[in-house]
Amino acid sequence: MSQSHLVAALQSAFGSDRILTSTEAMAGYLVDWTGNFRGEALAVVRPSTTAEVSALMRVCSENDVSVTAQGGNTGLVGGSVPLDGLLLSTVYLCTFEDFDPNSGQVTVGSGVTLAQLQEFAATHDLEFGVDLAARDSATIGGMTATNAGGIHVIAQGMMRKQVVGVEAVLPSGEVISTLRGLAKDNTGYDLTQLLCGSEGTLAVITKVRVQLHRPVATQLLVFGVDSISAALDTAAGFIGNISAAEVIDRASVECVHRVTGISVPFDSSFHLLLEVRGDLDFEALAQHEYLIVALDATDREKLWALRERVTESCAAEQVGVSHKLDVSFPQNTLGDAYTQLCDLLDRDGVTQVVIFGHLLDGNFHLFFTTPAADQEIEREVLELVARLGGSISAEHGIGRMKAAYLHLSRGESEISMMKALKSAIDPQGIMNPGVLFI
């Protein structure tokens, strides 16, 4: 379908001021956060109601035009920029409705950012279970579609655990809704959970009903440790009371220091940030030679910045092509995995190697650069992960970036079952083609 025909069809579907077609106007939507994935689109559309999304989807399915949903465009696996067709931005789907103070549930539009939801929760003395550094841009729709993780998975679970129900528009334009928010509803397949982690390949999520929680007071401890196993042993002393457990290697903190000036507490191979609930046993803490206990909110923020600023600091210092790999391992292989990853990346042409992540989720984030694009080294890393029984994607999803490697983490029959679901729901294959499956 030509761009002019499509735009005319869209304009009759809804107002033209929310349809972008010029190269300049579309530019920001067509490159991902890493800069590694660039896309094309006939148009960027920005619907403001579910009915408009439904009308849009009808136009696209009738004309076989592919649709890529985009929230905050902070995804890190190339799933949010289209190869062609229509980019559907959820930026104007930003309602708050049906807040229930007793259950602590609220229904939000997909385009509501994590920061906006956190702000809403705080006004009701509540908090949201998932937190991540991209909070100002990442949207609740995108976080649901990628089943985002973040720093509190150990205590609160991934995004899918916070999601009580969704409203979504299928490729045909039909609307499904599981927003009732029932604590128990055992009536057939769980379509809510099916859409969590679907990465825009099945439907456009238009609303999400989420569960908020009463905040629990925590204290932030920062340890200097010399190995991953020492970090795990230290964390073991607080098991049951941990709200976050983040590990950052020496290269990570040195990069943050160089870019932001934030001082590095210890001259140690790793820094371990533990957010713990309950009273501290200062006698037991005294045995740790390298330990800081954050005394107040300012201290806490400065120490958390050491971890939260790693991603942007790596990007700021990047020379050449960046590789960001989000992988997970069985916890008892974590120390060995770290060593094997370092050995694998210790070669000419690979620079700025940084490894950090969510320790008790077994989730490492690797960042490294090469002078030019290099699929080979990414394949080697992902094959190492598979050999150690890990997952090629811990929390960022598959996107375009890892679609060719899905078989390293999912069995043949699982992949054919997922493809059967995809073709039943999206028979024309218009939803985010190239994402999740090659």
Which residues in this chain contact ligand FAD in the complex, by CB under 6 A? Answer: 33, 68-76, 79-80, 90, 110, 132-134, 137-139, 141-143, 145-146, 148-150, 199-200, 204-205, 311-312, 395-396, 432, 435
Which of ligand MLT, ligand FAD, none is residue 61 near (CB under 5 to 8 Å by kind)? none
Backbone φ and ψ for 434, nearest 5 degrees, come out as 90, -10
Question: Residue 302 is encoded by which pair of tokens?
Answer: 């400065």
Which of ligand FAD, ligand MLT, none is residue 112 near (CB under 5 to 8 Å by kind)? none
CB 274 within 8 A of CB 238: yes
Q: How many residues bind ligand MLT (CB under 6 A)?
A: 5
Task: Check residue 32 for interaction with ligand MLT (CB under 6 A).
Answer: no
Q: Which amino acid is it at 223?
A: F
Which of ligand FAD, ligand MLT, none is residue 75 near (CB under 5 to 8 Å by kind)? ligand FAD
Interacting positions 210-269 with ligand MLT (CB under 6 A): none
| Upper half-sphere CA count for residue 391 (Cβ side, 13 Å) | 16
Nearer to ligand MLT, 46 or 358 (CB): 358
CB 389 within 8 A of CB 331: no
CB of 133 to ligand MLT, least distance (A): 5
CB of 148 to ligand FAD, least distance (A): 4
Task: Check residue 135 for interaction with ligand MLT (CB under 6 A).
Answer: no
CB of 81 to ligand FAD, least distance (A): 9
> At which residue do the structure tokens 């509540």 appear?
126
45's enclosing H/E stretch is strand 43-45
Question: Residue 316 is encoded by which pair of tokens?
Answer: 């700021």
Task: Check residue 127 for interaction with ligand MLT (CB under 6 A).
Answer: no
CB of 324 to ligand MLT, least distance (A): 6
Task: Check residue 154 for interaction with ligand MLT (CB under 6 A).
Answer: no
Report in angstroms the alpha-carbon separations of 311 from 122, 340, 365, 421.
26, 22, 9, 35
Neighbours of 402 (CB within 10 A): 25
Task: Check residue 271 for interaction with ligand MLT (CB under 6 A).
Answer: no
Nearer to ligand MLT, 30 or 359 (CB): 359
Nearer to ligand FAD, 220 or 291 (CB): 220
CB of 129 to ligand MLT, least distance (A): 15
Please calculate the CA angle 232-354-73 and round it to the nearest 5 degrees.
Answer: 105
Task: For residue 26, give the 3-state DSSP assignment.
Answer: helix
Nearer to ligand FAD, 37 or 266 (CB): 37
Nearer to ligand FAD, 150 or 362 (CB): 150
Nearer to ligand MLT, 61 or 369 (CB): 369
Please calculate the CA angle 87-164-275 and round it to the nearest 5 degrees.
Answer: 95
Rounded Cα gap, residues 330 and 229, in angstroms: 13
Q: Which amino acid is it at 275?
A: E
**Residue of 49, 33, 44, 145 lying closest to 85 (CA atoms):** 44
Task: Check residue 275 for interaction with ligand MLT (CB under 6 A).
Answer: no
**Residue of 235, 224, 325 lying closest to 266 (CA atoms):** 224
Task: For residue 74, give the 3-state DSSP assignment.
Answer: coil
Exactly one of 207, 271, 309, 365 binds ligand MLT (CB under 6 A); which one?
Answer: 365
CB of 358 to ligand FAD, least distance (A): 7
Rounded Cα gap, residues 71 and 91, in angstroms: 6
Task: Check residue 133 for interaction with ligand MLT (CB under 6 A).
Answer: yes
**Residue of 204, 205, 199 lying closest to 403 (CA atoms):** 199
148's enclosing H/E stretch is none
Rounded Cα gap, residues 270 and 228, in angstroms: 8
CB of 289 to ligand FAD, least distance (A): 30
Nearer to ligand FAD, 138 or 221 (CB): 138
CB of 110 to ligand FAD, least distance (A): 4
Interacting positions 326-345 with ligand MLT (CB under 6 A): 326
For 239, which DSSP code?
A: T
CB of 123 to ligand MLT, least distance (A): 27
> At which residue do the structure tokens 């099945």 appear?
202
CB of 364 to ligand FAD, least distance (A): 12
**Residue of 253, 249, 240 lying closest to 360 (CA atoms):** 240
Nearer to ligand FAD, 39 or 224 (CB): 39
Task: For residue 105, give the 3-state DSSP assignment.
Answer: strand
Which of ligand FAD, ligand MLT, none is residue 365 near (CB under 5 to 8 Å by kind)? ligand MLT
Rounded Cα gap, residues 3 and 18, in angstroms: 15
Site string for ligand MLT, 284-323 (x = CB under 6 A): ---------------------------x------------
| Upper half-sphere CA count for residue 298 (Cβ side, 13 Å) | 0
Chain residues that interact with ligand MLT, rule: CB under 6 A:
133, 311, 324, 326, 365
